Structure 1
Amino acid sequence: MYLYKDIRSIIKNECEKEIKNGKGCIIFDIGIYFPFAYSEDCSFTFSVNEWDLLFDYIINGKNPTMEAFTDLKLNHRYPNRNYYTLTKKYGRKLSKIGYPFFLNFDECDKPFYLCIGIGNVKVHFPIKINITKDKPICELTLYINLSDGIKWDFSFSSKNSLFGPTCKREWIANKDTSRWIFDNNHIMFYNLTLEPCEQEFDKFIE
Structure 2
Amino acid sequence: MSKLPRIVGDLQCRPLAESRETDLLSGMDGKGSYQVKGWKLTQQQFVALLWKRLLIARRSRKGFFAQIILPAVFVCIALVFSLIVPPFGKYPSLELQPWMYNEQYTFVSNDAPEDLGTQELLNALTRHPGFGTRCMEGNPIPDMPCSVGEEEWTITPVPQTITDLFQKGNWTMENPSPTCQCSSDKIKKMLPVCPLGAGGLPPPQVSHSPCD
Which TM-score band (shorter chain)?
under 0.3
Structure showing greater Rg: 2
Greater strand proportion: 1
TM-score by length of 2: 0.19
TM-score by length of 1: 0.19
Larger RCO: Structure 1 or Structure 2 (Cα < 8 Å, ≥ 6 residues apart)?
Answer: 1
